Amino acid sequence: MGLLLYQFKLKIQEKILLPVMRKHPKLADLYYFAFSSDFSREHQKVMNGKYLHLQALKNGRPNAFHLRREVHRIEKGLVMRNRRDVFALDFIKDVVKNYHILKSQSNPKEVDADLLNWASSVIQKYFESVDGANPVVKEAKLLFYGDDKPKPKLNGQLTSVPYLREDATVSKVNYESFYKLAMQRRSVRWFQDKEVPHDLINKAMLAATQSPSACNRQPFEFRVFDQKELKDKVGSIPMGIRGIFSNVPTFVVVVGKLSAYLSERDRHVIYIDGGLASMSFMFALETLGLSSFPINWPDIESLEKKMEDLLGLKSDERPMMLIGIGFADPKGGIPYSQKKSPEQLITYN
């Protein structure tokens, strides 16, 4: 009966609703208002994220994502070619103020010493690099240092500031070894009954932290589960691993944080940034002798609710995907998974 009803609904959508309502964005809005609640949670989560971000700003305690974005903007300004004498006048005072606020906050999980050091170094570099006679710069500088005494030249003492490409450390990994690693990584679903040491997961994460993210916000968290009962509860929720989850020693739930953004236009970035970090993470696991497989997180309200309750997710947080990890069972089968060719995937100009 359930299947028949589902097929009937699909037919109505295909024959009547979709042909008409797909023709204009407002009709699409109407469709998703009147006939489907499939986007409801996404809308609500995006809205919660925006609200939390705005409330934090209004209460004078901006979140760390905000500071990260601002410091990133200053760094981009510092590396501009033919840079103007002054820039960032519209937000430099804000950066300094937010830096001081977050420095006084005791939440090392969100605002750690490295973030504060980066912010402080970039702000100092900014003051050293722009026209100090500008009144806005003067004010911001006074706000930052607390006095207007002349400051000694930094002379390369700052480490967390823009640098030249030619000064960067170059890895010894060549194309052949990287390609081999890419070939080695396959989705492994059968594992040895062996614990995954936390230090290996932490090491893989250290590599994953180097992944790019929009405005360097890094709007995700990797929630790791390996305590048998709990990890089986987590693994039993996604649909795509129903027959295999108990064999997987460790699950990661990659959680995105929508309070990283002020604007709806950035609503997809959690998935992009989370995906990029997950890929680096899985490659790093391979280099440490571990195998993994990504696990789909379908946007289904009942499952979202289950995961939210189990993980105690906040109002702006969404699971984006899961990753299963373990030491591969050498006798476990691996699907061949034929790949497309570069010619199929690339078009030039």
Ligand X SMILES: Cc1cc2nc3c(=O)[nH]c(=O)nc-3n(C[C@H](O)[C@H](O)[C@H](O)COP(=O)(O)O)c2cc1C
User: Contact residues for ligand X (CB under 6 A)?
Assistant: 186-187, 189, 238, 240-241, 293-296, 321, 337
**Residue 325 CB, nearest approach to ligand X (Å):** 13
Q: Which is nearer to ligand X, 130 or 282 (CB)?
A: 282
**Residue 2 CB, nearest approach to ligand X (Å):** 22
**Residue 148 CB, nearest approach to ligand X (Å):** 54
Distance CA 324, CA 282 (A): 10
Q: Which is nearer to ligand X, 321 or 325 (CB)?
A: 321
* Residue sitting closest to ligand X (CB): 240
Max Cα separation, the chain? 80
Q: What is the DSSP letter of 245?
A: G
Q: What tokens appear for 52 in the block? A: 């939390």
Q: What tokens appear for 232 in the block? A: 């089986």
**Residue 309 CB, nearest approach to ligand X (Å):** 21
Sign of CA pseudo-dihedral 134, 137, 143, 146: negative
Phi/psi zone of residue 113: left (φ > 0), alpha (ψ -120 to 50 degrees), beta? alpha
Distance CA 189, CA 187 (A): 6
Q: Which is nearer to ligand X, 16 or 182 (CB)?
A: 182
Angle between helices 198-208 and 269-287 (to 10 degrees): 130
**Residue 204 CB, nearest approach to ligand X (Å):** 16
Q: Which is nearer to ligand X, 189 or 267 (CB)?
A: 189
Q: Which is nearer to ligand X, 115 or 237 (CB)?
A: 237
Cross-strand pairs, 324: 251, 293
